[in-house]
Amino acid sequence: MTFIVGENCIKCKHTDCVEVCPVDCFYEGPNMLVIHPDECIDCALCEPECPVDAIFADDEVPEDQEAFIELNAELAELWPNITEIKESPADAEEWDGKPGKLALLER
What was the pLDDT predicted at 1? 85
Distance CA 65, CA 36 (A): 17
Domains and CATH numbers, the chain: 3-85 (3.30.70.20)
- DSSP symbol at 59: T
pTM over 0.85: yes
For residue 85, what pLDDT is reported? 97
Largest CA-CA distance found in the chain, in angstroms, rounded: 33
Q: How many CB atoms lie within 10 A of CB 15?
A: 18
Distance CA 61, CA 69 (A): 8
Residue 68, burial from CB neighbour count under 10 angstroms (0-12, 13-18, 19+): buried
Residue at 77: amino acid letter: E
What stretches in the chain show pLDDT beneath 50? Answer: none
Residue 5: per-residue pLDDT: 98
